[in-house]
A and B are shown apart, each in its own frame.
Chain A
């Protein structure tokens, strides 16, 4: 008797597990294959009026339209929330997308490698210059957002989105000295966040193939910082250290520094 019950229960449980397996197979689609993905390299190529640009502490290589001969010894900014869009409107958004572009002779970082992008042809790249408000109000962050990166205001919480520091000498009024532009502002009247959307020229695209890399080559023309569209002379504005009317002006200009020159597939 005991044996019979045991046998019965084994048969029962077997049939249950069999049927439940079958049900599962009927209902669920075939498990999705691992998605094929590739990488896009975003290359940020800095220039001034179309000429190549590099940091320099001593020589004034560049001149803006107000007679300021100038050089930068520091140039860093946040690029965040990077998205790639296809012609059909589908979008890939990089998770945890926070990066610092840094023109530093010791630790230059002007190339970003965004991996895990589903294969396809991408016509547009979009990113934010700055750091979204959420991360400005959520306490201690890490990685590119670590306060120790030095792009963070300690006394009035918030990220410094853009840091440009250098020297100038004005041809007309003879003034000279340092300039320091620290721009940010994630809320309130004086915001510095700018969304930049760039489309591949000539109806082109960056083709992402499985396990492969293509690249988008961006031009970043610093000259725009002084005149596109806000007119900012260095001798007239030497320091910006917090979100204010002047930082907003600078942000209106840095939005226009970027263009997507070409792609390599």
Chain B
């Protein structure tokens, strides 16, 4: 008996030694944590005491983001309509197809710099990054799944149970934990390394003369709404699009007539990658967008006053000016963001 114990002890020691040696040294951790770029304002969300951003939490959020288990028939993941090469928007889709091929009514926005947003969706109906995913997950034309069912499916998978437990130190998996993980992933998606950023940070050669001319035109004619380093003021405005007859934007949330056909001013970061444009994806090219502002603006009681200053509808622009502005808009593309392996499907 005593001998057996001794053997057992030896075995344990050998095993421990062996398993220790098995641990291959981790490659230098590439997880930088959430870092506020030096030329950005303070974020609105950077994790919370209950949901600190960690490598493990972020990776769990990424796994969920790319996992179609979150849709009713396991065909749609977040990544289906938020594609990395389109700055996590949906390339060439005016609106996206979701469950059973059904189309929604809105152009999927890029996912970037959400940490600086105080409302979400084109109508601003969602007030917090942590509850944002509930909308696409439960929307009948998107994932079309209930949170309850997603939790059942996640709790059935040992690898998910282990991963959640590792991050949140409790079982079973709850919807709060799932939403926390998504929030960690999205918060990490910071785009701040475009040529324009480089220019703003002092590298005067980062932009060409033509791009700088475009930037000056942009500052004069577009930055009242697309303001600051994030290229949006986060407000809701009617930019003179012909109503599509399907929806009224912000008014659907507030029921205020004064909000009719107002939509959230989007950031223009990575705009060259996120076509088509506008809330319903009606314009395929940046040329068409600028043509709208110069010639296509429709008057209505809620049209933004900036778009009818001095009694002139729209923003007068020559062809040359438009092309220069488009040159500038291309400098907002951040390849280090869209190609960052951290955000790709693992």
Interface residues of A (CB under 8 A from B): 136-142, 146-148, 150, 152, 154-157, 188-190, 242, 244
Contact with A along B96-123 (1 / 0, CB 8 A): 0000000000000000000000000101
* 21 contacts across the A-B interface (CB closer than 8 A): A139-B128, A139-B131, A139-B183, A140-B130, A140-B180, A140-B183, A146-B175, A147-B134, A147-B179, A150-B146, A152-B134, A154-B134, A154-B137, A154-B139, A155-B125, A155-B135, A156-B253, A157-B125, A157-B126, A188-B254, A190-B255
Is residue B169 contacting chain A, with contact meaning CB distance below 8 A?
no
Which residues in B have their C-beta under 8 angstroms from that of A189?
A: 255
Residues B255 and A140 in contact, CB atoms below 8 Å apart: no
A139, A188, A190, A244 — most chain B CB neighbours (10 Å): A139
Interface residues of B in 283-340 (CB under 8 A from A): none
Q: Quick check: A147 and B128 within 8 Å, CB to CB?
A: no
Instruction: Enumerate B214-233 residues with CB–CB distance to A below 8 Å.
Output: none
Total contacting residues, chain B, CB less than 8 A:
29
Contact count A vs B, C-beta below 8 Å? 69
Q: Is the CB of B179 within 8 A of A137?
A: no
CB-CB nearest in chain A for B45: A139
- Interface SS, A side: loop
Given known pairs A139-B48, A152-B134, A154-B135, the reply for A146 and B128 (CB within 8 Å) is no
Contacts of B180 in A (CB 8 A): 140
Q: Residues of B with Cβ closer than 8 Å to A? A: 48, 121, 123, 125-131, 134-135, 137-139, 146-148, 151, 174-176, 179-180, 183, 252-255
For A138, what are the chain B residues with a Cβ–Cβ distance below 8 Å?
A: 128
A244-B255 CB under 8 A given contacts A139-B48, A156-B126: yes
Given A138-B128, A139-B183 in contact, is the A154-B175 Cβ separation under 8 Å? no
- Residues on the A chain within 8 Å of B126, using CB: 154-157
Known A148-B148, A156-B126, A188-B254; further 15 A-B contacts with Cβ < 8 A: A139-B48, A139-B128, A140-B180, A141-B176, A147-B131, A147-B179, A152-B134, A154-B137, A154-B139, A155-B121, A155-B125, A155-B139, A156-B252, A157-B128, A189-B255
The minimal Cβ–Cβ distance linking B246 to chain A, given in whole angstroms, is 15
Contact across chains for B128 and A137 when beta carbons are under 8 A apart: yes
Q: A148-B175, A154-B135, A190-B255 are in contact. Are A139 and B151 (CB under 8 A)?
A: no
B130/A148 in contact, CB under 8 A: no
Chain A, Cβ-Cβ closest to B175: A148
Name the distance in Å between B328's Cβ and chain A's nearest Cβ: 35
Residue of A nearest to B136 (CB): A154
B96 CB, min distance to chain A CBs, angstroms: 16
Residues of B within 8 A of A154 (CB): 126, 131, 134-135, 137-139
User: Complex Cα distance A150/B128, Å?
Assistant: 18
Query: Which B-chain residue is minimally distant from A243 (CB atoms)?
Result: B255
Q: Which residues of B contact A146 (CB under 8 A)?
A: 147, 174-176
**Cα–Cα, bound, A136→B130 (Å):** 12
Contact of A157 among B48, B131, B137, B174 (CB under 8 A): B131
Are A147 and B175 touching (Cβ within 8 A)?
yes
Name the residue in B131, B135, B176 with the highest tally of chain A Cβ atoms < 10 Å from its Cβ. B131
| Bound CA span A154–B145, Å | 12
Which A residues are in CB contact (< 8 Å) with B252? 156
Give the distance to chain B from A262, nearest Cβ to Cβ, in Å: 37
Q: How far is the CA of A157 from the CA of B129 in the complex (A)?
A: 11
Residues in A with CB closer than 8 Å to B148 are 148, 150
CA distance A141 to B134 in the complex (A): 12
Residues of B within 8 A of A142 (CB): 174-176
